[in-house]
Structure 1
Amino acid sequence: MSASVTKMVPAAVILFGAMGLGGCATKSYVREQIAPVSQRVDALEAKLNETDGTAKSALSQAQAASGQAQNNGQRLDQLNARVDGIEQRMAESQKKKPRN
């Protein structure tokens, strides 16, 4: 080997070693960097759960109102049929009575 190559080998080893050690992150550093993001994610999850609960409650109330509206519609139909029957009987009774 030549003299210049033997001088370059230690320099290359030192350079690659410095680059390799400089890129490592410790667990505590990563935790510190992730903590704010983790807190925001936790807050968003709590808000999402709250919103989900509100949506489920609103859906339940809407379904109950829909059922009540259907029941009311059926009752109205029954009452309309009764009123129609009464009107028919009244019309028939007026036809039978002679007018003076």
Structure 2
Amino acid sequence: MSHFVTKLLPAAVILVGATGLGGCASKSFVREQIAPVSQRVDALEARLQETDGTAKAALAEAQAASGQAQNNGQRLDQLNGRVDGVEQRLQAQENRAKRPRN
């Protein structure tokens, strides 16, 4: 054999062996390997939807509470105005009562 063939022969054997052993995976093999991952993804999607629903419900409750707090603040402002008016009338009555009568 020539020097060129002796160098080329091992490379050719490795190339033929690699392509022959590599092969393609069958559909059933791929399905078997993907099945556990697919099941985990499905479970995570279900949990994500549940969490999303919980978050949306919590947001709705928080918005309702915010509206109620705003209403309560307005009512407190009104009551403060009424209390101020009552205090002013009371103070005026006390001032009239303290004036000496002639």
Residue 54 (str. 1) matches residue 54 (str. 2): yes
Runs of at least 4 residues off by over 4 Å: 15-18
Structure 2 segments unaligned to the other structure (5+ residues): none
Task: Tell me the secondary structure at the aligned position of residue 25 of structure 2.
Answer: coil
Structure 1 segments unaligned to the other structure (5+ residues): none
Give 1:47 shift.
0.3
TM-score, normalization by structure 2: 0.78
Give the aligned partner of residue 19 of structure 1: 18
Give the aligned partner of residue 33 of structure 2: 33
Give 1:93 shift.
1.4
Aligned pairs, number:
96
Task: Tell me the secondary structure at the aligned position of residue 64 of structure 1.
Answer: helix
Q: Deviation per CA, 1:7-39, whole angstroms, max 9, x where unpaired? A: x88xx47x6555334321011100110000000
Separation in 1, partners of 2:93, 2:32: 92
Q: Deviation per CA, 1:46-74, whole angstroms, max 9, x where unpaired? A: 00010010001001100100110010010
Separation in 2, partners of 1:39, 1:85: 69
Could you say what the CA RMSD is over the residues aligned between the two structures, in angstroms? Answer: 2.7
Percentage of pairs with the same residue? 67
TM-score, normalization by structure 1: 0.79
Residues 21/27 of structure 1: CA separation in 2 closer, same or farther (3 Å cut): farther
